Each structure stands twice: as structure tokens, then as C-alpha cells.
Structure 1
Amino acid sequence: MRQTQYPDLAGRTVFVTGGASGIGAAVVSRFCAQGANVGFIDIAEREAKGLIATIKEAGNPPPFFIEGDVRDLSELKKAISTVRRKFGMISVLVNNAAKDDRHTLEHVTPDYWDDRFSLLVRPMFFAAQAVVADMRSRAGGSIVNLGAADRPLHSSRSAYDAAKGAVHGLTKSLAYELGRDAIRVNTVSPGWVLTDRQRELWLTENAAEELKTRQSMRREIKPEDVAAAVVFLASLEAEMISGQEIVVDGAYR
């Protein structure tokens, strides 16, 4: 896949949540290819080490990995502070960490519901809170939140969809609040991106046929397609784009 270079991203400090695999790994790789200084947090140490090795083999500056769970806000804030000390003030925040487990309506408990929001929404707000002073001191920055396409592609994930539905509301609010500081906040909402996890757990013959029928663009959506939108929004090419949602779903209907 062709990669556009954005010179303003070279040397910038980027922090990514959930960067070890899937879309997050593609985002980390793309920023490293831009020459950015990338730090990311994830619970998946093995996948993170494999990603770092792959990026090194490609000849790009490797990212810095911090093992941690974004649901633990103290771990999240500590990771942000560690990346700041290593690379300097943070210019770009990508809130990506997620997990789209399936569940039926009858089996959702209050604790499970709260856990979905503690993973999918709460870290976005508090990560933004932790980096905003850096961005103000740099006279600007970019926050990109990963949402989900409006049309659910799966059943049995109402708690996930509810939490993801809240993401763009947070984006709009933060964009308005931070706009005077030249801090841009946007959402990138993927359709069904066929990561290894999706193929292993959820891609059935029926689901693949439905996707083929309802996604107008016939090529599968790759993590790199989503990463391309994220990196664009982080760059100064998107300097006047804020409070918006880019949907990467191959014209699903």
C-alpha cells in the first residue's frame, strides 16, 4: 500500500493506546514510517515485541512499548509520563484500545457493562486530559479517537456498540473545548476490518457473504486503511479539520 509522507510528523511524539496488534499495530507502524517518536501501551507483550521487531526490520525507528492496562488509569497516566520523559512533549494521541467481545442481552451484567465503558471510553477522556498541557505548550496537537461505523456489522455486542456510540460525542465536545488551543480532535470509525482476531473468532461463511453483499467496495478493509486516515488527521494537512468523523467502511450499506 502506498504511504504518503507528512514531513511535519517527523520527530513528533505520538502516544497510542492498544498498539500491539490489529489496527493499533498498523497505526504504530505508520507513524514510525513517518519518522515519529512513538510510544504505545498494551497488555499483549508478545505481540508488542513482534511488532517492534518487524518495524526494525523495515528500517524504521522502533516504537517504545509500555505493558499496561488502560482500564487502570494510574497505569495509563504513568505510561504517558514515561513516553514524555523519553521523547518529549506529546503532539499526537491516538485512543485505539478496544475489545469487541460478543454477548447476549440476557447475559450482560452491570459489572460487564461498566467494564466495556472503562475500556472503550473512559481511557480516551483521561488520556486526553493527561496530554492536553503538552499540546497547549506546543501551540497545537491532534487527538484521534477510534470509533465504529454507524451500522453494526455484528449482533450480540450491544454494550460495545453503546460505548463506541459515545466516542464521537466525546470527540465533538473536546474539539469545541480545545479548538482555541489549536488542538484538533477527530474520530476514525472503521467498518469490519478483517484482522487476525476477526478471522479467527467471528468471520463465518454467512458473515463473509453478508459483507461481500453489503460493502460496495469489494476489497477487504485492512488495518492499514484505517491507519492511513489516522495519520492524515494527525498531520498538518488536516490543520482545519476537527470535530469530524471519518468512516472507513468501504461504503457499507
Structure 2
Amino acid sequence: MAHLADDVLRFVRATGPRPDELLEEMDAYAEENGFPHVGPEVGGFLQLTARLSGARSIFEFGSGYGYSAYWFAEALPENGEIVLTEVDEGELEMAREYLARGGYDELASYELGDALDTIERYDGPFDAVLIDHQKERYVEALEAVRGKLAPGAVVIADNAMSAEDVVVFEDLLAHVEGQSVEMNEGTRGIADYLDAVRSDPAFETQVLPLGEGIAVSRFEGKADNTEALGSRR
């Protein structure tokens, strides 16, 4: 479900960063296979966010076949790092191939398995985080990474407004406007995440209607560990 009018969406895409040939190939794969990727308007925003924040270390909760990671990687310095997590081995291998073809393989760490298990093996601090896995586990992801964020880090949660049949926009809208409404598991997960991050004084949050909605939060607190980037225990 797009949240921008067709002409506005076309304008955003036309004025944003131009995808290279590999990203266009990845877009085509998503279109042909019905794969729910973030799309070029969100991808361009991820890249810009990483540049504006001077990100050196990025963690993704859910990476699919590497589309968002590819956008992020373009903004990383030579000594940067992005940690991709994915439970599907085939998709993670696709991500490895795409990033290698784009020249970003040296920047990437590929972690097969549950992202919430993976994050426990990393100390951070992370400058940018993307949450894009099971919607009912978004709050868990936020809690798991909160103490590993660098001051000024940006946390971006995808599907903050909708996700096909998983997140129902009308129910989410009613919730954030203070109404009591029955929600499915995915919508409840997003509602709980928005409640958690918006009520936490360490975060400043704004939801943007790009793609299926992204919640963008800047971390104002201090990391529990400010040692080497992406270092493992």
C-alpha cells in the first residue's frame, strides 16, 4: 500500500538518488517475484540518512536479498561495516552476491539466523539501524539494540504504516489517534513499537509516508559501549 499519490511518488522517485544497474536488477526481481522490498524512495532515504549521520556501522534486523543494505553501503566509508541478518539462507546468499557485484562485499558481514540472536554477539556502537523483520518483534529489536547505539544514531523501522495484509493502516491510524480498536498481530506489533519509541525520552521520532511508511528515530542518549565499531564479544 503506497501512501503517496501516484504523481507525488513519481516525483519523489524522479528527484531522488538514481538506482544503479544492479539496484534496477534488484527492483525487477522484487517486481517479478512479489518480494516486499523497501523500494527506491525508501532506499534513497536510507542512503541519505547514513550520509547525514556520518554512519560507519550499521545493523539490519532482516535483510532479505540485500536491497536496503546495498543502498546503505554506498554511503559507508572504506572502514565502515554493515551487518546483514536473514533467516533464509538462499536470500542471504543472494545478498552476498549482489553486494559483491556492487563492490561492497568488504563492508558487509552476513549473519544467517535470528537477528535477535545475532545482535547479542555484537557490541556496537551502531550509527544506524534498520528494523524490518517480524512486525510483532519490533519492540524486542529496539530493546535489544538500544544499549548498543552511538549518540545521535538513527533507528529506522519499515512498515510503520502498512504491510499488505500484515499491518492494517486504518486500525493503526485509529490507535495512534487514541481510539480503542481490535488489531491483528502485525498491526499490534507496529502499534506497540510506535508507542515504545515515541514514549522513550531518549528518542525523537517522525513517521514519513515513504514506501509503506518508515518511523525515523534519532537516539539522544548515550551508548552503553562506545568501543570499536561492530566489535563482537
Aligned to 1:28: 69
Q: For residues 170 and 48 of structure 1, do their structure 2 counterparts lie closer, same or farther at Cα, with a shift above 3 Å needed? A: same
Q: 1:79 aligns with which of 106, 118, 134?
A: 118
Q: Could you tell me which amino acid in structure 2 is paired with residue 19 of structure 1?
A: S
Query: CA contact under 8 A between 2:160 and 2:207: conserved in structure 1?
Result: no
Aligned to 2:147: 133
Across the two proteins, how many residue pairs are aligned to each other? Answer: 157
Q: CA RMSD in A?
A: 3.5
How far is the alpha carbon of 1:189 from its aligned partner?
Answer: 6.8
Q: Deviations over 1:151-209 (max 9, x none)?
A: x86xxx5x66523322442243223333x324547576745xxxxxxxxxxxxxxxxxx
1:80-229 superposed matches below 5 A: 80-84=119-123, 88-97=124-133, 119-121=134-136, 123-135=137-149, 138-147=150-159, 149-150=161-162, 157=165, 161=168, 162-178=184-200, 180-182=201-203, 184=205, 186=207, 190-191=211-212
Q: For residues 9 and 148 of structure 1, do their structure 2 counterparts lie closer, same or farther at Cα, with a shift above 3 Å needed? A: closer
Gaps of 5+ in 2: 1-16, 19-43, 169-183, 221-233
CA distance in 2, matches of 1:185, 1:80: 25
Query: CA contact under 8 A between 2:167 and 2:190: conserved in structure 1?
Result: no
Q: Is residue 2:90 matched to residue 1:54?
A: no
CA distance in 1, matches of 2:62, 2:142: 15
Q: Could you tell me which amino acid in structure 2 is paired with residue 51 of structure 1?
A: A
CA distance in 1, matches of 2:196, 2:114: 23
Aligned to 2:223: none
Q: For residues 175 and 96 of structure 1, do their structure 2 counterparts lie closer, same or farther at Cα, with a shift above 3 Å needed? A: same
TM-score by length of 1: 0.50
Q: 1:67 aligns with which of 109, 112, 137?
A: 112
Q: For residues 126 and 187 of structure 1, do their structure 2 counterparts lie closer, same or farther at Cα, with a shift above 3 Å needed? A: farther
Q: Is residue 2:92 matched to residue 1:44?
A: no
Q: Percent identity?
A: 12
Query: CA contact under 8 A between 1:40 and 1:64: conserved in structure 2?
Result: yes
The structure carrying a bigger helix percent of its residues is: 1
Q: Is residue 2:60 matched to residue 1:16?
A: yes
